[in-house]
Structure 1
Amino acid sequence: MTEINVQDLASGVDTVWVLLCAALVFFMEGGFAFLEAGFIRAKNSMNIVMKVFTDSTIGMLSYWAAGFGIMYGLDRAGVFGSTGFLIGGDLSHIQLRIPIYAYWLFQAAFAMAMASIVSGAVAERMKYGPYIIYTAVAAALIYPVAGHWVWGVNGWLGKLGMLDFAGSAVVHAVGGWSALAAVLALGPRTGKYNKDGSLNVLPAHNLHLAFLGTFILWFGWFGFNPGSSLSGLDMNIARIALTTNLAAAAGGTAGILFTMFKYGKADPSMAMNGALAGLAAITAGTAYVQPAGAVIIGGVAGVLVVLAVSFFDKIKADDPVGAIAVHGAGGTWGALAVGLFAQQGGLFYGGDAGLLGVQALGVLSVSVWAFTATYLVFTALKKTVGIRVSAQEEFEGLDLNEHGITAYTGLMTNPLYDIEENPAHSFGGIQPQKALLVNTAQNIEP
């Protein structure tokens, strides 16, 4: 009787722990919303929050209907699961000490996070309707297939020995390289790049809001990483929390110092993205590396994100929030770093190149899958319903044209001119005809 009571107590502690961490990961959606809204122009800020909200609603239902079953259902050839749809069917093979409902909530929050990585990259020019379709497909298929390969029982990468504790590859690389595919299919914002390849700054409208989003994401990561232990009785959760925090601090530090060295001034956006890149990078190895290793992993990610942002601008992959650099580059580096810094099997700790090779194969595989699947979805949407708003709607702002409301009162003014009376007025070749939208606080459109 005593043994049963102890088991019940342990299960209860673990259930409460996982539910608490699931809430923290879900709260990260607020971080995504604030971060992305702050990084873009005011006239599009409500639209981006709506896209993140779509990840949390339609994305969650899609994961419930199909995604969880594909990710964790009974394995088929190491590629996908075939049970567990609508949280039904045989799921006994997962062998949990917590209720399946608690486990599902935690995993669903991860699926929403992956979709929200893409939302920031396509900001300011993608139609809302097609984004709904993409979110449903991402949560139901794209993310779950990659997840099954690594985390599913008998997934082929998991059987090879790939280590991705909380998802540098499965969540962040998948989200980041999906974002790259979406951006390439969508094209850059009007006026972002000149014919000679130089770029124009389309300024963020509220960096305070972006910093708030960064702090919320950082806070939520204490559920993202330690929660992946699935046990409040696992004493390793303290180390996981520590390595998570140190990597974020190192990434933010590197973003500050590297931009001071490179540009002469500390760039706030790169300070934020440096910390987030450090978090994305440590997510794979947080349970396997020492604190010093976490600092190195985070610091490298903080430098890498600055270089990656410049690279993607050079190839005209317009990403308003830096999601590709943070999650794609940062997540990929983090997955590889496990092969170097893992205390057991890492190359720098007496191991051979075996683990590093598996990590490289794993992150390459899920990245290619995510990029290809997303590009096909966006291409299909582009050829059918269309994925991009018109130049006129882009100029006026997605808030008004996609949702009929602006984020800030006073953003819309009476027409300052009529193009028919004064054709000399234009913006990047766009002919405004109805109204001129003005961000009276920061960004006055000509």
Structure 2
Amino acid sequence: MDRVVELAYALDTFYFLVSGALVMWMAAGFAMLEAGLVRAKNTAEILTKNVALYAIACVMYLLCGYQIMYGEAVNAFIPGFGSLIGADHTAQSVLASDGGIYYSTLSDFFFQVVFVATAMSIVSGAVAERMRLWAFLAFAVIMTGFIYPVQGYWKWGGGFLDQLGFQDFAGSGVVHMAGAAAALAGVLLLGARKGKYGPKGEVRAIPGANLPLATLGTFILWLGWFGFNGGSELKVSNVAEANAVAQVFVNTNMAAAGGVIAALATARLAFGKADLTMALNGALAGLVAITAEPLTPAPLLATIIGAIGGVLVVFSIVALDKLKIDDPVGAISVHGVVGIWGLLAVPLSNDAAGFGGQLAGIATIFVWVFAASLIVWAVLKAAVGIRVSEDEESEGTDIGECGLEAYPEFTKLT
């Protein structure tokens, strides 16, 4: 290996690791966003969920998820399950399609494991304030170890969706819509929070306890998304790849900006007020929308794609409330509805993508993750129960599930 190749290898490995670290930091963003959007009496519990699910995702992906997703497969539909526990993660290099070595295998594992944790984080916010902690963590084991890796194999592991031409650059479908589908299945079995909907179907707002914290979480996620999308380019060590990474960064940022402006304007027109929570969800919607293809659009088109996501998320949150689907943080709308939009927007700039392939990917991922999750949630509900008692819900899950309060000295449990 000559000196130039060694330098490229070192640079690309380092870039992959730093990108993965940025995505890992998104776990903090989800934790702060969700802690800000739930009531004070549920804050410690939602933080516990977020730190625990990240740890579970890492361990389960090491034990079996990575091998299912990228190991030797049975065929294009069935991934490999032969070498799971104790799989070898010591190999040091990955070969490019031209035979050149360009980054460490372990850097690839690290980058992929933080993606599966992101998908599981989406579920946490949607089921907040009424789900039992240990039931949630049990689901996290199955989701991160098996459900997510199977559909991940179908696209990123070279399975049948990839062969059909389904395009998903960094995971609007594989990560975000998958997380939303799992969340929707859980929410439907779990039911709404007590008092969220009135006897005549009226929707009652349940404000979050800490909007500054939610805003901080959104900015952390915005920052982490540069690693999420930028790292998915995989290389940075030549002029073409460096230019591609710059394009991805700019488009990611512009889509988020477009989402904020569009959601804020839509909320103003629809509700007569500038709704901060809609603006925050607009930023995340823009980011989700561009994740399916952040490389090929021009920056103006990326801004428009993000803006459409920002509009969609406002109407989706309102529509789900009318259907009595209670999602305290808007996760199903942000990651599911807008994830679908992002996948459908890919052919607008990428000639390799067709609407047929995109629709096939959307349907396959949603049906698999939703159905598998619904079964797991149903088994957990029958076996151990997934919802806290009415008294625990009224008192707050902090006390019932964690035995402590996040704000013990100055916040009432209301």
TM-score range, shorter chain: over 0.9
Q: Considering only CA atoms, is the larger Rg found in Structure 1 or Structure 2?
A: 1
Q: Is the 8 A contact 2:262 2:311 kept in 1?
A: yes
Q: Aligned ranges for residues 73-152 of structure 1 at < 5 Å?
A: 73-79=71-77, 80-82=79-81, 85=84, 86-88=86-88, 95=95, 97-152=102-157
Q: Displacement, 1:88?
A: 1.5
Look up the SS of the partner of 1:75 in the other structure.
coil
Could you list the per-position Cα deviations for residues 298-340 of structure 1 after superposition, in whole angstroms to 9, with x for gaps in the alignment?
0110000001001111111100000000000111110111023
Could you list the per-position Cα deviations for residues 77-102 of structure 1 after superposition, in whole angstroms to 9, with x for gaps in the alignment?
21323466344289899635211111
The amino acid that maps onto 1:62 is M
Give the structure 2 partner of residue 159 of structure 1: 163
- For residues 251 and 380 of structure 1, the distance between their equivalents in structure 2, rounded to whole angstroms, comes to 38
Going from structure 1 to structure 2, the CA distance change for 1:90 and 1:366 (only over 3 Å counts) comes to farther
The amino acid that maps onto 1:43 is K
- For residues 367 and 191 of structure 1, the distance between their equivalents in structure 2, rounded to whole angstroms, comes to 30
Look up the SS of the partner of 2:328 in the other structure.
coil
Q: Displacement, 1:173?
A: 0.7
- For residues 25 and 89 of structure 1, the distance between their equivalents in structure 2, rounded to whole angstroms, comes to 21
Q: Is the 8 A contact 1:248 1:275 kept in 2?
A: yes
Q: Is the 8 A contact 2:40 2:209 kept in 1?
A: yes
Q: Is the 8 A contact 1:115 1:138 kept in 2?
A: yes
Give the structure 1 partner of residue 332 of structure 2: 324
Give the structure 2 partner of residue 32 of structure 1: 30
Q: Is the 8 A contact 1:339 1:357 kept in 2?
A: no
Could you list the per-position Cα deviations for residues 190-212 of structure 1 after superposition, in whole angstroms to 9, with x for gaps in the alignment?
11111211111111101000000
Could you list the per-position Cα deviations for residues 146-181 of structure 1 after superposition, in whole angstroms to 9, with x for gaps in the alignment?
11111003x100011111110001001101121111
1:290 aligns with 2:298: yes
1:334 aligns with 2:330: no
Going from structure 1 to structure 2, the CA distance change for 1:303 and 1:44 (only over 3 Å counts) comes to same
- For residues 197 and 18 of structure 1, the distance between their equivalents in structure 2, rounded to whole angstroms, comes to 49
Could you list the per-position Cα deviations for residues 341-375 of structure 1 after superposition, in whole angstroms to 9, with x for gaps in the alignment?
32x346xxxxxxxx111011111110111111111
Moved more, 69-78 or 163-172: 69-78
The amino acid that maps onto 1:272 is L
Give the structure 1 partner of residue 287 of structure 2: 279
Among candidates 213, 216, 219, match of residue 209 of structure 1: 213
1:312 aligns with 2:310: no
Q: Is the 8 A contact 1:84 1:91 kept in 2?
A: no
Q: Displacement, 1:4?
A: 1.6
Going from structure 1 to structure 2, the CA distance change for 1:82 and 1:287 (only over 3 Å counts) comes to farther
Could you list the per-position Cα deviations for residues 420-444 of structure 1 after superposition, in whole angstroms to 9, with x for gaps in the alignment?
xxxxxxxxxxxxxxxxxxx34xxx6
Give the structure 2 partner of residue 356 of structure 1: 355
Among candidates 176, 180, 195, match of residue 180 of structure 2: 176
Task: Answer 1 or 2: higher relative contact order, Cα 8 Å, separation at least 6.
Answer: 2
Q: Is the 8 A contact 1:68 1:87 kept in 2?
A: no
Q: Displacement, 1:30?
A: 0.2
Going from structure 1 to structure 2, the CA distance change for 1:67 and 1:6 (only over 3 Å counts) comes to same
Paired positions, count = 403
Going from structure 1 to structure 2, the CA distance change for 1:250 and 1:381 (only over 3 Å counts) comes to same
1:7 aligns with 2:11: no
- For residues 352 and 403 of structure 2, the distance between their equivalents in structure 1, rounded to whole angstroms, comes to 56
C-alpha RMSD over aligned residues: 1.7
Give the structure 1 partner of residue 68 of structure 2: 70
Give the structure 2 partner of residue 232 of structure 1: 236
Look up the SS of the partner of 2:409 in the other structure.
coil
- Structure 2 unaligned spans of 5+: 97-101
Q: Is the 8 A contact 2:93 2:105 kept in 1?
A: no
Q: Displacement, 1:58?
A: 1.3
Q: Displacement, 1:10?
A: 0.5
Going from structure 1 to structure 2, the CA distance change for 1:223 and 1:90 (only over 3 Å counts) comes to closer
The amino acid that maps onto 2:121 is S
Give the structure 2 partner of residue 44 of structure 1: 42
1:246 aligns with 2:244: no
1:382 aligns with 2:381: yes
- For residues 352 and 171 of structure 2, the distance between their equivalents in structure 1, rounded to whole angstroms, comes to 19
Give the structure 2 partner of residue 370 of structure 1: 369
- For residues 199 and 293 of structure 2, the distance between their equivalents in structure 1, rounded to whole angstroms, comes to 43
The amino acid that maps onto 1:256 is L
Q: Is the 8 A contact 1:84 1:90 kept in 2?
A: no
- For residues 345 and 362 of structure 1, the distance between their equivalents in structure 2, rounded to whole angstroms, comes to 14
Moved more, 280-289 or 211-220: 280-289
Q: Is the 8 A contact 1:340 1:356 kept in 2?
A: no
The amino acid that maps onto 1:88 is D
Q: Is the 8 A contact 2:120 2:140 kept in 1?
A: yes
Going from structure 1 to structure 2, the CA distance change for 1:115 and 1:242 (only over 3 Å counts) comes to same
